[in-house]
Amino acid sequence: MIEILRVLPFVVLGIPVAIFVFYGLILFYYGKMKKNQKEVPQEDSRDFDFEPHVSIVIPTHNEEIIVSKKIENLLSLEYPKDKVEIIFVDDSTDSTAKIIEEYSKRCLNIRLIRFDERKGYSPCMIAGCNAAGGNIIVLNDAASFLDVHALDNLVRHFRNPRIGVVTGNDLILNVDENIGESEHLYQRIFNFLRSAETKMDSTFYIKGEATAVRKDLIEDLQVCGETFDTTIGLFVRKKGYRIVYDPNVMFYEYAPSSHSGRIKQKTVRAANLIKVLWRFRNMMFKRQYGKYGYLILPMNFGMLVIAPLTILIWPLLLVPLVFVDTIFFLEILGAVGGVFLLLLLLSKRLLFTFLEFEYSLLKALFQVVFMRKTHDKIEKVESTRRFE
């Protein structure tokens, strides 16, 4: 019995270590060693004759502070104006709708769909996509600002008939702040992961602030119980099309100004990712989905669900050792403390970013499993809305 109590903590702790090391090595191979696949266009390969009609869909809820800045950003994009429509789907209780209506009188390509009750992100996105007249739908967010070449860089991928979704690169505006610098580090790791997954097959992670999808692939997606952006990725991949990340599709946004705001933001995102993974769990280990089914989805399930749970369980397994083998317990505690101190010395910011991420995952799991909480109408983090 004592031997089991001694071995069990190492087995449990070895699970998340194995997940991160195994997938990390695979990501390194594809991210650093593997050349870009030919079907992903390079930066200088734009085809100026390929200019499909684009519909940009933006859900808004009480965005009166920044909606004018958002509209001006969209109007500044370098893409033929006669081939772009801008659709706002609004369920606000402030003056957001009125500001959009004023712009729509001067700009005929701006449309407003108005709801008198709070609908939430996914229902608003579905309504906007259903109303869209473009061949390509671009998902966007009120608090994110697209680079002037974003539309060009998004749509050029659709020359390849195998590509169904393209997602972009998040650039943090307030990197001079503590949280902003930490978020910038997180995004660098996150983007490396998405780039490697794209070279493998398709990325699991979709950024709804700058993502494009073929309209005809999501016309039958009329109900979405999770977050719309990540759902369309799996929905489209299930139909046999690829999801690619392009670092040249850039958008800018502010990170939260406080740790509590960042935890809130990451908890909502994590909860929605977990729900989507569970909904599409039947895609895992299926031959027709290639590396996406055999590797990418299972590994992300491991990182988002299994790893945080085993990290939580691990210290609980040490409790019996206090009573049956105190010396062994202190040896483990000393070893773990030494590793923690070493990581702290090597990169304090990276360590705390990881711990914050794991805490957000545990909080999200608790909300999903025990509270049955919905995450489609969660209030935004106000510090990410800045008019500067």
Strand order across the beta sheet in which 242-253 lies: 110-114, 84-90, 54-60, 136-140, 210-214, 163-172, 242-253, 145-146
d(CA 144, CA 173): 10
Number of alpha helices (DSSP H) and beta strands (DSSP E) in the chain: 14, 8
- Rounded to an integer, what distance in angstroms lies between the CA atom of residue 286 and that of residue 304? 20
- Distance set, CA 58 to CA 106, 154, 258 (Å): 19, 16, 26
Is it the case that residue 242 has pLDDT exceeding 70? yes
Given a cut of 60, whether residue 286 has pLDDT beyond it is: yes
Q: Which phi and psi angles does 90 have, rounded to 5°?
A: -120, 135
Closest CA to 280 of 219, 222, 216, 237: 237
Mean pLDDT, rounded, of the chain: 93
- The answer to whether residue 284 scores a pLDDT higher than 60 is yes
Look at the domain 1-388 and name its fold.
Spore Coat Polysaccharide Biosynthesis Protein SpsA; Chain A (3.90.550)
Name the residue among 24, 20, 15 with its Cα closest to residue 310.
15
Q: Where are the domains of the chain?
A: 1-388
Is the pLDDT at 45 greater than 50? The verdict is no
- Bridge partners (DSSP) of residue 347 are none
94-98 contacts: CB < 8 A, separation 24 or more? Answer: 94/62, 94/64, 95/64, 96/60, 96/61, 96/62, 96/63, 96/64, 96/67, 97/60
Q: How confident is the model at residue 35 (pLDDT cuts 50, 70, 90)?
A: low
- Tell me which amino acid residue 94 is: D
Alpha-carbon distance of 326 to 314, in angstroms, equals: 17
Q: Measured between alpha carbons, how far is residue 99 from residues 15, 111, 144, 317 in Å?
A: 52, 12, 18, 57
CA distance 201 to 199: 6
> Which of 127-131, 193-197, 335-339 bottoms out in mean pLDDT, i.e. has the lowest?
335-339
Residue type, 246: D
pLDDT, mean of residues 263-279: 95
* pTM for the model: 0.92
Q: Predicted confidence band at 158 (pLDDT cuts at 50, 70, 90)?
A: very high
Q: What is the dihedral of CA 35, 38, 43, 49, to 10 degrees?
A: 180
**pLDDT over 60 at 47, yes or no:** no
pLDDT 10s digits, 169-178? 999 999 999 9
pLDDT band at 215 (very low <50, low <70, confident <90, very high): very high
Confidence check: pLDDT of 155 > 60: yes
Structural Rg of the chain based on CA atoms: 22
State the Cα–Cα distance between residues 79 and 8, nearest whole angstrom: 59
Between 224 and 1, residue with greater pLDDT: 224
